[in-house]
Structures are given as C-alpha cells and as structure tokens.
Amino acid sequence: MEEAVVLKNITKRFPGIVANDRVNLQIQKGEIHAIVGENGAGKSTLMKILAGLYQPDEGEIYIFGKKEKIASPNKAIELKIGMVHQHFMLIDRFTVLENIILGAEKKKGIAIDKKTCRQTIKKLLDLYNFNLDLDAKLEDISVGHAQRVEIIKVLYRGADILVLDEPTAVLAPQEVDELFVNLRRLKEEGKTIIFISHKLDEVLNIADNITVLRRGKAVGTVSADSVTKEELAKMMVGKPVLMKLDKAAAEKSDVKLSLHNIVMKGNGGKNSLNGVSLEVCGGEIYGIVGVEGNGQKELAEAVIGLRQDYQGDIKVCGKPIHGLSIKQIRDSGVAFIPEDRHRQGLVLPMKVWENSILGFHRKDKFKKGMFINIKKAEEFTLNNVKEFSIMISSIHQEIEGLSGGNQQKVILSRELSQEPEVILAAQPTRGLDIGAMEFVHRQLLQKRQEGKAILLISADLEEVLSLSDRIGVIFDGEIVAEFAPEEKTLEDIGVYMLGAHRKAGESA
Amino acid sequence: MKRDRNYKILALKIAAPVIAMILAALISSLIILAIDKNPLQVFYTMFKFSFSRLDSIAIIFFNATPLIFSALAVSIGFKMGLFNIGIEGQYLIGTFLAALVGFSLKGLPAAIHLPLVIMAGIAGGMLWSFIPIFLKVKRGVHEVISTIMLNYVAYSLIHYLIADVFKDKQQSLVEGLGSVLVRTPKLAESALIPKMHGFLSIFGIQLPKHVYLNWFFPIGILLAVGIYYLVSYTPFGYELRAVGHNPEASKIAGIKPDIVYLKGFLLSGAVAGLVGLSDLLGYFKYMDMDFPQGYGFDGIAVALIAQNNPFGIIASAMLFGFLKRGSEGIQALLKVPMDTIVILQSLMIIFIVVITKIINDYVKRLEKKEAA
C-alpha cells in the first residue's frame, strides 16, 4: 500500500524544550490515522510541521513517496495537505458558499464566478454525501455544520490528506456520529485522514491505526482493533490511569445552592433560561449536561452574579443573592471556575502570584498598610504551588507561559483556598490532558467529601457521569430531565440533550 | 537559562528606543542634507549647545517638566487600557482654574495660597476628565472621541474666559506704545512657585536669571516615583492593571471595572491638571491667549517612547526637552530651521511604535516557543 505521509526522525526544539524528539510516523493512503497524547505531548507541533507552520530542526518528510520540504502553509496546500482547525476560521456573516471559496475564488474577469464555484462544491457535496445548505449564513447554522464547512473548504482546495485537530471537542454525541459517517465516506473515496484527539473512545471507534505521542516521542503505533482503552491510556501517560474514579460515599447535608424558576431573556425574544429550578446539597455534585448554547453559560452567569437580569430566586446557604454584587456573592461562599480560563479566569500578562490573589487582593491578609503585602502573597502562592503541584519556573513568571493544565491549577488553587461552600465549575477540564484532568476531578471529589455543594457544568459526558451524584440535562433553557448517573445510558442522555423528550416524568 | 532570557528581553526593550533614535537621526540627516547643511555639524551643535552650558541643562529640565506630568497622566490611562487623549483640555482647564485662584485671592501667605492654587489645577483637570469617563461608564461613549471633542471645548472656553470674562483691564501701556495683552490679571506673588536657584546655589550651582527651572521639576520626579509604587504595589494599582489587561476576568473576580475606570481616569485628570502649572506659576505668571498648547499630545509621545514606565517617562521627557533646547541652538547658530527637529521627533515616534511592536512580538514568540 502507498504511504501518504512518512515522517522520519522529526525533531523540533524550542528554547528549553524538545517538542518533537525523533518522531517516526507512517500513514497509509486511505486510512484514518489517529494521533493521541496528552496536552504538551507534541501533537500540535507535529501537525504544525505538517501544515507548514513550523520547520523541523532535523528529519525528513515524505509526501506520497516524495521527499518534501513544507516551507509554508501554501506549500502544504500545494502538496494536498489540508488542516481543519479546532477553532473554526469562518466568517459569521458570510454564506456557507462564500466561506468555502474565500481566498480560492474562481474568477470570471474581475468578478467572482459563483456559478462555477457552486457547481464544484455541489459535486464535492454529492460525492462525499455531505448535507449543507450553501446559501445559509454561517451564523445560522449549527456547530456541526460549521465543521462540515471547514472540511469542504479544504476539500475544495484539493486536499487529499486531511488533518483534523480535536474535531469532536465542540460536538454533541449525535453530531460526532454524523462527523464519523462523513469521515468514513471520505476514507472510502481514498482520502487520508489524520485525526488528533485525546478522547480515547472516539479514537478507538474511528481510527484504523493509532500513534501515541508522549513527551515529544512517538511511543508506538497500534492498530485500533488490537488495543483496549486502558492500554492506550497507559501508553499515553506511561502509567496506568484510574478510569473509574474512587468515589466514596459522601454525607449529604442541607441544600446549599438553590435555583427557583429562573427566567432570563436571550437574544431575539427567546428566553435563554426558561424556568430553571434545581437544588444542590452539601456533599453533592450536581452535573449539568447539554449541547453548548442551551443556557449553561447563562446559568453560571446568573449564579455568580455576572448577569442580574433574571427573574426567580437563587439562594446560597439559604440567603437570596439576587441583586448582590459579584464580590458579595463570592464573599458569601461561592467559588467560580469559569469555562474560558484565558478570558474569564486569568489576567494572562500578569504574574503567577498576581493571578493567585486575583479577587482576594483586598483581603486583610494580603495587606500591609496601603500596599499589597507581596511577601504574604508570595507565601500564599508558593503554598498553592506546592499543594497543587503546579509546574512553574518561578511565581514571578507571567502566567501566559504556563501550560493549560497548570493555568487551570492556579485557578483551582485560588478558588478552593477560600473555603467556599458552593463551587460552580464550568467546563473545569476543557482542553486539559489526562493527568491534569484527573487532578481536577480528585479535587472536586475531595471538596464533595468535605461537604461542599458543587454545581458542575460540562460538555464532557463521561466526566459528568463519573463525578456527579445527580445529573440534570439542560435543553433550550430548561432542565428537561434529572436522574442519577447509573439510571441512564449515554444514548438516553444524548436523546435528552437534543430535546427529543421533555420532562419524561423523571425525578431527583 | 531563564535568567539569560530575562536579560535578553530587558536588553531588547532598552534597545528599541535606541534603534529608533538612530534610524530617525539617519533619515533626518537626509533632510538636513537636502537643505544643504551638514548633518554631523547639526547634531554636534545640538549636543554641544545643550550639554556644554549649565543654563542649557537647566532649561532642558524646565522643558521636560510639563511633559513628565503629561506623560504620567497618559500612562495611567494606558495602564487600564484607556486612551486619555484629553490631557490637552484637562490641563488648560486646570491651568485656568489655578490662575483664577492665583489672581483673585489676595493677601494669603504663600504657604496657603500656593497649595490652594495647585489644588485648583488638580480640580480643573479632574473636572474635565470626569465628563468623558462618566459618559463612558454610564453611556458607553468611547473615551477617545469624547476627550478629543472636549479638547476643542476647552480651547474655546478658555479663550472666552480669558478674552471676555477675566481679561485684565488694568494693564498700563508703556508710554502709550503697543497694545494691551489679552490675558488674565497677574497672579499674586504668594501664588507663584519658587525657582530652584536658591536651593542649587547651596551646592555651588549658580543658574543665570533667564532660567526658569522651578520646584515643579522635583515634584514631577517624586510623582513619577509615587505612581510607580501606586501602580505596582497597591491594591488599586493592581486593579488598574488587571482591568487594563482583562476586564472580563477582573469582573468575574469581583472587581468592578467601571469603578476602576472612574477612579483611574480621575487620577489621570488630576495629574493632567498639573501640566501647565510650571509654565503658569514659574514663567508667565498670568494666562493669556498664547499659553503653550500641545503638551497633552507631546505627553502621549513621551509615554509611548517610555512604554508607560514612570522612570522611562522621566528619561524620555528629558529627551524631548533636549531636542527642544537643541533645536533652538541650531536655529540660532546654524540657521537650520527648528522644524528639522520636529521632523526628527516625529520620525522617532513612528520608529519607536514600529520597532516596539516588532520586538514585543519577537519576545512573545520566544516565550511561546518555550511554553510549547
């Protein structure tokens, strides 16, 4: 069989780190090849080399048997390598068609020849069995469809090798299935697909072969039929990982967080929250799942006080919080782990210790006269760094330079250090590797053990299922079902998430 | 390893303005050549005129004084991510209020009158900065637009007040010659800032009479130090920087960005209110239609070159002071028009913006690579 991509001894060094260390990789033409590894294992670097964004320091690249130097992204396209990025590079106000042809328009004179473009794209859609409305504005289509637009975009540019970077991170389970149908169809037509992920179930489901990267090295390539999830996880982290969390029974106490009939107006006259009621007790993790954009964000924003324009009552430890400032709500014992740590959780250009006291910088313990008691703040930070084993070179380093996992640990240590009664965790493990993820999970479970109430909002079903004591499915601003994790299968939950059944008589 | 990198970054940051200055000097040389003068001689004269004479050095300090205040005011805005383009209007209003208090109160001891005058200046600056920040916080009006507009309002308002309302009608003409000035009455002696001549003579430094270096210069230096500590080490300064870099994360942490904007902008306006006082209380002693304008915009350039570092601001304000003094020198001695130096100044600003951007991107890339 012909080899689409062969990498030989690829080494890429950055100051102080070897991102790829003599990586060898062989990808057959027409296969789906998954590349898995923890964050920081070198997956992205390797793919950026393939996409022409980085140049390797050593090693050789062969594309379809020919030795090539991929000096630029344009060269990559020339070599028929197409990259589907995790964050879509699309323009909301353009139509699907315009998005696809942008930058590669066929012209008639000086005008864009939309007719020819449309025909070309139609042919592609028919060939690969993609369902897309070319005249819909991008802002009106779902995330799953937007991803299809990205895929068609690279196919339109003639790609034979498709690189998909964490394509399922933004999708609901049903959409993942649709994506996989599409990918298999592409494979049938002879396209080669490189699939980057750290979701092992998906990788085992879709891939033919799997290459595992660990600390910049390729530790092995295995066929998907011959390996189990546990074996893969072991290859990834180098030690066996507890897939089932030790969840000791926790003492359930009084209700610490209660939401009663919360209604919030959204855009375009539709309510983004439509009468949400739920209660979280001390010693309990309440998980909220749902397809993104069904009110999870607004729910979190209402609880932390970022948005006050809602009706209904929210009580923390029995006291109503509607109308209180964010600071007052935090002072009443609410900790918040925001979903977007770069935008909402950290001030990236500021130092690690400065980020460690964000929000608590006016507390008496960090004061010395009119100044911040830097010594105390540093001690506090060093203590957190030790307790949460945060990997940094110095607490005076800008937090921008830390890995995602370590940044999240800084947020976690900051929020949990204040002995909160209620912890609001929104997507607390998004983008983290298995090691960091496990750490976050253990911290949340420990807080549950200590009798705190935890409201967990996550798009990662597996995470919610393994952590939660109770689960609520949110759809269209409503909790449409509530149940204990062992009561439902993944498929059932998926059905609820897509709104097929509303309130089918479930109770807590 | 890490430490090496830190030194490298620091070196690059210092190198940026130096490279910009050299490039600007090279291009200005072409312009000087184009008007048939020798650039080497021009630069030599600038340096010689500025640094071989005691009075020149003192004049450089005097020139730098308003720019230090102005650039500090700008930098406070920048720290929280706001552009206070309104320093210009703020200092004109501040200067006028100070003049008003200076000429209308009489018979006070200097120890009371002078602080009152300075406070009036601060109040004027704060007043004129309150309008745009109030509009921003309450109504979302962009501060760049409102401050620029308010600059024009301030110009006109000051002209009206000086020419119509408070014009000094008791001016006596010398032997009936010339015409009366359109200006306020002279300020009371007790409102004026003392020169530094007496103090410096203790150290054997005798400044000539035509030098107006006054105590606002050391006040500016002290203020720079104070602002450095305020921004770097107080909870308020911390909030200023946090909000400046990421208002959303600050808000979620319980900081109220609007309050920080309000306080920070008023502080910026307060500092801006001091910009004109060295000239008013140490040189003119009245405010007229020709009171120096443009310190507000020069302050933006000074802050830009200093990258908002208070100590850098002192240095770059001195640089501007030197260029001004040097340009007087080459005009007088070589008949090279002062505008040459204005061109040099403008080029420097352009280069500094471009080079800083390039260097910052490079430093970011270095750090990114390390983190990848």
User: In the prediction, which pLDDT does A17 show?
Assistant: 62
Three-state SS string across A192-228, please? EEEEEECCHHHHHHHCCEEEEEECCEEEEEEEHHHCC
- Closest by CA to A314, choosing from A264, A274, A278, A266, is A278
B91, B81, B34: which is closest to B273 by C-alpha?
A: B91
The distance of Cα A67 from the centroid of its chain, to the nearest Å, equals 35
Higher pLDDT, B134 or A199: B134
The whole-number pLDDT of residue B1 equals 45
Can you read off the two tokens belonging to residue B139? 């109504």
Q: What percent of chain B has pLDDT over 70?
A: 95
Task: Please report which confidence band the pLDDT of residue B300 belongs to, taking 50, 70 and 90 as the band edges.
Answer: very high
Nearest C-alpha in A relative to B229: A371
Query: Which residue in B234, B252, B366 is closest to A372 by CB distance?
Result: B234
Q: What is the DSSP string of A335-399?
A: EEE-S-IIIII--TTSBHHHHHTTTTTTSGGGEETTEE-HHHHHHHHHHHHHHTT---S-TTSBG
Q: What is the DSSP secondary structure assignment for residue A172, as one 8-state letter?
A: -
Q: How close does chain B come to A401, measured CA to CA in Å?
A: 5
Question: What pLDDT sits at residue A429?
Answer: 86
pLDDT at A461: 77
Whether the CB of A358 is below 8 Å from some CB of chain B: the reply is yes
User: Looking at beta carbons, which residues of chain B come within 8 Å of A401?
Assistant: 367, 370-371
CB contact under 8 A, B242 and A393: no
Q: Please answer yes or no on whether B369 and A358 come within 8 Å at the CB atom.
A: no
- Counting other chains too, the contacts that B218-222 makes at CB distance below 8 Å and 24 or more residues apart are B219/B274, B220/B64, B220/B65, B220/B68, B220/B69, B220/B72, B220/B274, B220/B314, B221/B68, B221/B314
**How does strand A422-426 pair with strand A284-289?**
unpaired
pLDDT at B265: 97
Q: Considering only alpha carbons, which residue of chain B is nearest residue A329?
A: B254
d(CA B210, CA B219): 21
CA distance A121 to A105: 12
**Residue B354 and residue A472: Cα distance in Å, rounded?**
53
Check CB contact under 8 Å for B367 and A398: yes
Sign of the dihedral through C-alpha A134, A477, A320, A310: positive
Q: What's the token pair of residue A12?
A: 């890429």
Instruction: Please answer yes or no on whether B251 and A326 come within 8 Å at the CB atom.
Output: yes
Residue of A277, A294, A295 lying closest to A286 (CA atoms)? A277
Return the residue of A nearest to B253 by Cα: A359
- Residue B337 contacts residue B36 (beta carbons within 8 Å): no
**What is the per-residue pLDDT across A203-224, written as a single tens digit (0 to 9) for each?**
899 999 999 988 788 988 999 9
Write the CATH number of the domain with boundaries A255-333+420-508. Answer: 3.40.50.300
Is A216 in the B-facing interface, judged by CB distances under 8 Å? no
Which contiguous run of DSSP H or E holds residue B304?
A: helix B295-305
Query: What is the DSSP code string of A423-441?
Result: EEEESTTTT--HHHHHHHH
Residue A478 β-bridge partners = A475
- Intrachain domains A3-237 and A255-333+420-508 with the same fold: yes
B370 falls in which pLDDT band (50, 70, 90)? low
Q: Is A364 on the interface with B (CB under 8 A)?
A: no
Residue B44 burial (CB count, 10 A) = 13
Q: Report which of A447, A440, A416, A412 is spatially closest to residue A283, judged by C-alpha positions.
A: A447
> From 3.40.50.300, 3.30.750.210, 3.40.50.1980, 3.30.70.1290, which CATH number describes the A3-237 domain?
3.40.50.300
Of B242, B254, B366, the CB nearest to A350: B242
Mean pLDDT over the full length of chain B: 90
* Contact partners, residue A162, CB within 8 Å, separation at least 6: A82, A84, A151, A154, A155, A186, A191, A192, A193, A194
Report the C-alpha gap between A294 and A299 in whole angstroms.
Answer: 10
The pLDDT score that the predictor gives to residue A505 is: 44
The maximal CA–CA distance of chain B, rounded, in angstroms, is: 81
Give me the residues paired with residue A3 across strands. Answer: A28
- DSSP state string for A74-99: HHHHHTTEEEE-SS----TTSBHHHH
Instruction: Give me B216's structure tokens.
Output: 């606002």
Q: What 3-state DSSP class applies to A145?
A: helix
- A392 interfacial to chain B (CB closer than 8 Å): no
Residues of A in contact with B256 (CB under 8 A): 325, 327
Q: pLDDT tens across A139-189, in order?
A: 888 888 888 999 999 999 999 999 998 888 777 778 888 899 999 999 999
Give the helix/strand (H/E) hosting A134: none
- Between CA B220 and CA B222 the distance in angstroms is 5
b/e burial code for range A131-157 (CB count within 10 A of at least 16 → b): ebebeeebeebebbbbbbbbbbbbbbb
A199 vs B207: which has the higher pLDDT: B207
Q: Which two tokens stand for residue A38?
A: 């923890």
- Contact A91/B at CB under 8 A: no
Name every residue whose Cβ is closer than 8 Å to that of residue A68 and which is 6 or more positions away in sequence. Answer: A61, A62, A75, A79
Both structure tokens of A57: 């320091």
A225 burial via Cβ count (<10 Å: 0-12, 13-18, 19+)? exposed
Question: Looking at residue A397, what is its pLDDT?
Answer: 87
Decide which of B336 and B277 is more confident: B277
List of chain B residues whose C-beta atoms are within 8 Å of the C-beta of residue A359:
253-255
The residue that leads in pLDDT, B294 or B348, is: B294
Encode pLDDT of B72-116 as tens digits. Answer: 999 999 999 999 999 999 999 999 999 999 999 988 999 999 999
Could you report the average pLDDT of every consecutive run of 10 residues in chain A (508 residues)? Answer: 88 74 92 83 86 91 92 90 85 91 84 89 89 89 87 91 86 84 92 87 91 87 88 72 64 90 81 92 92 84 93 94 94 92 92 94 90 94 92 86 86 92 91 81 92 90 87 90 86 74 46
Contact between chains at B249 and A400 (C-beta distance less than 8 A): no
Sign for the pseudo-dihedral over CA of A116, A120, A121, A126: positive
R_g over Cα of chain B: 22
**CB-based contact A467:A456 (threshold 8 Å):** yes
pLDDT score for B99: 96
The span from the first CA to the last CA of chain B, in angstroms, equals 17
Strand partners, A218: A213
Contact A8, A62 (CB under 8 A): yes
Task: Quote the tokens at residue B75.
Answer: 């930098």
A11 touches chain B (CB under 8 A): no
Q: How far is CA A405 from the centre of its chain?
A: 12
Cα(A172)–Cα(A491) distance, rounded to whole angstroms?
A: 11
End-to-end CA distance of chain A: 56
Predicted confidence band of residue B358 (pLDDT cuts 50, 70, 90): confident
Given its phi and psi angles, is residue A426 left (phi above 0), alpha (psi -120 to 50 degrees) or beta?
Answer: beta
Check if A394 contacts B (Cβ < 8 Å). Answer: yes
The A residues from 277 to 336 touching B (CB cutoff 8 Å) are: 304, 306, 325-327, 330-331, 336
Q: Spell out the domain ranges in chain A.
A: 3-237, 255-333+420-508
Cβ–Cβ under 8 Å, residues B344 and B24 = yes
Asked casually if ipTM beats, i.e. exceeds, 0.90, the reply is no
Nearest CA in chain B to A364: B235
Asked if A348 lies within 8 A of B2 by C-beta distance, the reply is no
DSSP readout, A219-252? Answer: EEEEEGGG--HHHHHHHHHSS---SS--------
